[in-house]
C-alpha cells in the first residue's frame, strides 16, 4: 500500500497517520463525499484463518456508538483488497481525527485534561452500560476533533463481559503496562473499573507527558501488576483527589465511569471535586488531614505523598513519587480482610504469609533463645534495608568470633534447584552453594508461588574465621530456620509493634529516585534494565561486557558505624563518599533522617549508592558522587 492507491473506487490513500493491530492506519480522501477519513486495517484472528464474518466484532461494537459524541464514528466497513497487509480481513472507514492520538501532543493544563477525561469517561459509561470494557485506554487511543471534543479511537482490545462472546479473540487480554489496572496486568478478566483506572493514568499523562519511555519493559510490567503509577501531584493540582479515587487498587472502591465523568467535569469547571467517599488520606498515625471533609489530598511542598497499604488496613494513598495501590491486595481485586494490627501475630489470608513488607516484623521470626546457644545475641532491628533483620552472635573463648544471621524477604518465585530440598514443618528449605565463610538457604513459606515472596537466610562470619567454617555456620543457620518455621506454623509473619514513621523512606521508591539521565555518569549502564528489589527499595544495573555496576538502595545504620570517608552536603543532605576495601568499588551514603531505633540508639535512614568496575578509584568516586547528587535532588523533604 502506498500514497495514491485507491480503495473501493473512492478512498485515495494520502499518508500513514498511525499503526493499529492490523497494520498502518492511513489518512485517505473520499473522492465522492469530499473530506478526509481514516482507514484502519482490521486484523483477522489466527493469521487470517478465521472467516471474514468473525473479523467484524470490532466494527459491530463501534457501530453501537455511532452517535456518541466522544467515540470515533465508524463510517463504513470494506472487505480488504488482495494487496492489503497480511492478515487484514477488512478495512474500517473511520471519522478522521486530525493529529492522531494525544500521546503526540504537548502537555495539557489540569483543567483541559480534566475536560478530556470527563468526555472519555462519558464514552466509557456508554460502553460499560452495553457490557463492553475498552481494555486499552491510553493517550495514543484518544484524539480530539476539529471542535476540540475528545474521541475514543481504538476498540481492537475491547472485551464483552456480559456474555461469552468477546470482541477480541479468546486468549490473553491486550493492555499497555503503563496504563493498565493491576487486575488486568495480573491476568484477571477485565471489568469496567479497569477502564476507570486506565483513564486516570491517561489523564495524568496528558498533564505530565507520556509515560512510555520511563522504564524498561520488565519494570513497567512489574509496576503494572502492583498498580504502581508515578504521579506528579504539583502538576496535576486539583486533579489529585479525583485521580486518587480512580486509582484505588480495589476495583469496587473506584468510582464508576459516570461518577468519574462528574468528578472530572467538576475539576474542568473549577468546582471542588467532592464525591461520596470523603475519608481523609494519611500515613499511618497521622490522622485526618485538613482536606478530610472533601476527600482531598493535603498539599506537600515537593509533591511527595504518603504511601500506606496492606496489612495494617490503612488506605492506599496518592504519592507524589508513585501511587502503589495495595501491593498485596487480593488477586481478584475484591476487598480482602484487614490485616492484623501492629504487634499482632499474622493470620494467613489473601495477602499471603509475608503480607505487606512495610509492616512485617521479620525480627519476630528469629528465635533469639534458640540462637543464644552459639554465643551472646543482639537483635539489630534497624540495620540494612527495610526488607531484612539481623541478629549478631558474639562467641566466647578462643576460636569463636562474630557471626551475623540475617533474614531477608526476596521477591520472586522459589528458586529452581537440582539439589535436595527438605522441609521443617510446612517450610521448605533450599540450601545454597557451600562456602567457608557463609551458609545460606532459601526458606519457602506455603503459598510462595502465589505471593511471589521467599525468605533468604544467611549466617556469615565477620572478622576472624569461625571454628568449623561452613559447617559451623550452617548449624547456626539451621537453628534460625527452625525458629522461622515455628513462628510460621502459628500463622503469617507478625506485624511490627509500632507503625513506621510517616516521613520514613519505607514509603518511597529507590528506583524512582533515579532518572534515566542520572546513569550518564556510567555510560555503559545507560539503557540497561535494572534488577528491581522488593518494593522498589533497591535498583541495580550491570553491564557484563564492561564489568560496570551501579546500585541505589535504602539503608539504615548508626552514623558512627559507617566507614571512614569524606562528608559533605549534597542538595542539603550530608553525604559520605567512601572508597571500599574492594579496589573496584566506591560507595556513597546520603543521610536522610535520624531517628531512635527500637533499642533507643540513634540510627539514620540513608540512600546507599555504589559504582563498581575496572576503573581508577578517583573515577569511580566521581561517578558515585554525581549519581548521589542527582538522587539526593529527588528526595522528598525529610520533615
Terminal alpha carbon distance of the chain: 61
**3-class secondary structure for 15-73?**
EEEEEECCEEEEEEEECCCCCEEEEEEEECHHHHCCCHHHHHHHHHHHHCCCCCCCECC
Across residues 441-447, what is the average pLDDT?
Answer: 90
Cell 497521622, residue located: 286
Q: How confident is the model at residue 307 (pLDDT cuts 50, 70, 90)?
A: very low
Q: Where are the beta strands (DSSP E) in 258-401?
A: 323-324, 376-380, 388-394
Q: What pLDDT score was predicted for residue 204?
A: 93
Whether 280 has a pLDDT exceeding 60, the answer reads no
Q: How confident is the model at residue 541 (pLDDT cuts 50, 70, 90)?
A: very high
Whether 329 has a pLDDT exceeding 50, the answer reads no
Q: How confident is the model at residue 348 (pLDDT cuts 50, 70, 90)?
A: very low
- Per residue in 484-501, pLDDT (tens digit) is 999 999 888 999 988 889
User: How many Å separate Cα 210 from the centre of its chain?
Assistant: 16
Q: What pLDDT score was predicted for residue 168?
A: 42
Across residues 146-170, what is the average pLDDT?
Answer: 66
Weakest-pLDDT range from 434-443, 556-565, 579-588: 556-565
Q: What pLDDT score was predicted for residue 71?
A: 87
Q: How confident is the model at residue 600 (pLDDT cuts 50, 70, 90)?
A: low
Task: Report the candidate in 44, 31, 38 with the shortest Cα–Cα distance to residue 73.
Answer: 38
Across residues 185-213, what is the average pLDDT?
Answer: 85
> Residue 58 to residues 18, 102, 153, 554: CA-CA distances in angstroms?
18, 22, 12, 48
Q: Roughly what angle, to the nearest 10 degrees, separates helices 257-268 and 192-208?
A: 20
Whether 350 has a pLDDT exceeding 60, the answer reads no
Q: Does the annotation place 40 within a ligand binding site?
A: yes
Q: What pLDDT score was predicted for residue 632?
A: 94
Sheet holding 422-424, edge to edge: 376-380, 388-394, 402-411, 453-462, 438-444, 427-431, 422-424
Q: What pLDDT score was predicted for residue 81?
A: 63
Task: Report the candidate in 249, 120, 114 with the shortest Cα–Cα distance to residue 183.
Answer: 249
What whole-number distance in Å separates Cα of residue 101 and Cα of residue 40? 14
- Per residue in 88-140, pLDDT (tens digit) is 567 888 888 876 788 877 889 999 999 999 999 999 999 898 888 888 999 98
Across residues 370-388, what is the average pLDDT?
Answer: 91
Residue 526 makes CB contacts below 8 A (sequence gap 6+) with: 516, 519, 520
Q: What are phi and psi of 200, to 5 degrees?
A: -60, -45
3-state secondary structure of 587: strand
What whole-number distance in Å separates Cα of residue 182 and Cα of residue 193? 11
User: How many Å separate Cα 304 from the centre of its chain?
Assistant: 16
Q: What pLDDT score was predicted for residue 40?
A: 82
Whether 292 has a pLDDT exceeding 90, the answer reads no
Q: What pLDDT score was predicted for residue 51?
A: 46
Q: What is the rounded average pLDDT for all residues in the chain?
A: 77
Q: What pLDDT score was predicted for residue 413?
A: 74
Whether 611 has a pLDDT exceeding 90, the answer reads yes
Cell 495501590, residue located: 325
3-state secondary structure of 139: helix
Q: How confident is the model at residue 227 (pLDDT cuts 50, 70, 90)?
A: low
Cell 510517616, residue located: 502
What whole-number distance in Å separates Cα of residue 460 and Cα of residue 149? 64
Q: What pLDDT score was predicted for residue 479?
A: 93
Whether 161 has a pLDDT exceeding 90, the answer reads no
Full-model pTM: 0.51
CB atoms within 10 A of CB 368: 14
Whether 353 has a pLDDT exceeding 80, the answer reads yes
Amino acid at each position: 500500500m502506498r500514497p495514491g492507491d485507491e480503495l473501493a473506487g473512492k478512498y485515495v490513500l494520502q499518508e500513514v497517520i498511525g499503526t493499529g493491530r492490523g497494520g498502518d492506519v492511513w489518512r485517505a480522501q473520499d473522492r465522492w463525499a469530499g473530506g478526509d477519513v481514516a482507514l484502519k486495517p482490521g486484523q483477522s484472528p489466527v493469521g487470517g484463518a478465521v472467516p471474514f464474518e468473525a473479523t467484524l466484532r470490532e466494527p459491530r461494537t463501534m457501530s453501537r456508538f455511532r452517535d456518541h459524541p466522544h467515540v470515533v464514528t465508524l463510517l463504513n466497513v470494506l472487505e480488504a483488497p488482495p494487496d492489503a497487509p497480511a492478515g487484514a480481513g477488512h478495512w474500517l472507514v473511520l471519522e478522521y481525527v486530525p493529529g492522531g492520538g494525544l500521546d503526540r501532543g504537548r502537555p495539557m493544563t489540569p483543567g483541559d485534561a480534566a475536560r478530556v477525561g470527563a468526555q472519555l469517561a462519558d464514552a466509557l459509561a456508554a460502553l460499560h452500560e452495553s457490557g463492553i470494557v475498552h481494555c486499552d485506554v491510553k493517550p495514543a487511543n484518544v484524539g480530539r476533533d476539529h471542535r476540540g471534543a475528545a474521541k475514543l479511537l481504538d476498540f481492537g482490545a475491547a472485551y464483552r463481559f456480559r456474555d461469552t462472546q468477546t470482541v477480541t479473540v479468546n486468549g490473553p487480554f491486550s493492555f499497555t503496562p503503563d496504563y493498565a489496572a493491576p487486575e488486568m496486568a495480573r491476568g484477571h478478566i477485565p471489568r469496567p473499573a479497569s477502564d476507570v483506572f486506565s483513564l486516570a493514568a491517561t489523564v495524568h499523562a496528558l498533564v505530565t507527558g507520556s509515560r512510555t519511555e520511563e522504564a524498561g519493559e520488565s519494570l513497567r510490567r512489574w509496576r503494572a501488576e502492583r498498580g504502581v503509577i508515578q504521579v506528579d501531584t504539583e502538576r496535576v493540582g486539583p486533579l489529585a483527589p479525583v485521580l486518587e479515587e480512580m486509582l484505588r487498587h480495589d476495583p469496587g472502591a473506584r468510582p464508576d465511569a459516570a461518577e468519574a465523568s462528574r468528578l472530572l467535569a467538576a475539576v474542568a469547571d473549577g468546582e471542588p471535586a467532592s464525591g461520596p467517599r470523603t475519608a481523609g488520606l494519611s500515613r499511618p498515625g497521622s490522622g485526618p488531614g485538613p482536606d478530610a471533609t472533601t476527600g482531598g489530598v493535603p498539599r506537600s511542598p515537593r509533591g511527595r505523598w504518603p504511601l500506606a497499604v496492606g496489612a495494617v488496613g490503612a488506605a492506599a494513598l496518592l504519592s507524589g513519587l508513585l501511587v502503589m495501590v495495595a501491593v498485596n491486595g487480593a488477586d481478584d481485586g475484591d476487598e480482602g480482610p484487614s490485616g492484623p494490627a501492629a504487634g499482632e501475630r499474622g493470620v494467613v489470608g489473601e495477602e499471603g504469609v509475608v503480607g505487606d513488607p512495610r509492616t512485617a516484623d521479620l525480627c519476630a521470626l528469629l528465635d533469639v533463645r534458640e540462637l543464644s546457644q552459639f554465643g551472646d545475641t543482639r537483635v539489630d532491628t534497624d540495620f540494612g534495608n527495610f526488607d531484612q533483620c539481623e541478629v549478631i552472635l558474639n562467641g566466647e573463648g578462643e576460636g569463636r568470633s562474630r557471626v551475623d544471621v540475617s533474614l531477608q524477604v526476596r521477591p520472586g518465585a522459589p528458586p529452581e534447584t537440582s539439589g535436595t530440598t527438605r522441609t521443617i514443618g510446612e517450610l521448605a528449605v533450599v540450601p545454597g552453594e557451600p562456602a567457608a565463610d557463609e551458609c545460606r538457604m532459601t526458606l519457602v513459606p506455603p503459598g510462595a508461588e502465589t505471593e511471589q515472596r521467599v525468605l533468604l537466610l544467611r549466617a556469615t562470619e565477620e572478622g576472624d574465621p569461625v571454628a568449623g567454617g561452613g559447617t559451623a555456620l550452617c548449624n547456626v543457620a539451621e537453628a534460625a530456620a527452625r525458629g522461622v518455621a515455628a513462628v510460621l506454623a502459628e500463622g503469617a509473619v507478625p506485624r511490627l509493634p509500632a507503625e513506621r514513621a510517616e516521613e520514613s523512606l519505607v514509603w518511597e521508591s529507590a528506583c524512582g529516585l533515579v532518572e534515566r539521565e542520572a546513569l550518564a555518569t556510567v555510560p555503559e549502564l545507560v539503557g540497561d534494565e535494572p534488577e528491581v528489589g522488593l518494593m522498589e527499595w533497591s535498583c541495580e544495573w550491570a553491564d557484563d561486557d564492561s564489568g560496570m555496576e551501579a546500585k541505589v538502595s535504602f539503608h539504615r545504620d548508626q552514623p558512627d558505624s559507617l566507614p571512614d570517608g569524606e562528608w559533605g552536603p549534597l542538595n542539603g543532605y550530608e553525604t559520605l563518599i567512601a572508597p571500599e576495601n574492594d579496589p573496584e568499588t566506591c560507595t556513597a551514603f546520603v543521610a536522610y533522617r535520624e531517628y531512635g531505633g527500637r533499642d533507643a540508639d540513634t540510627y539514620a535512614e540513608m540512600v546507599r549508592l555504589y559504582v563498581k568496575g575496572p576503573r581508577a578509584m578517583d573515577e569511580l568516586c566521581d561517578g558515585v558522587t554525581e549519581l548521589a547528587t542527582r538522587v539526593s535532588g529527588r528526595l522528598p523533604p525529610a520533615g
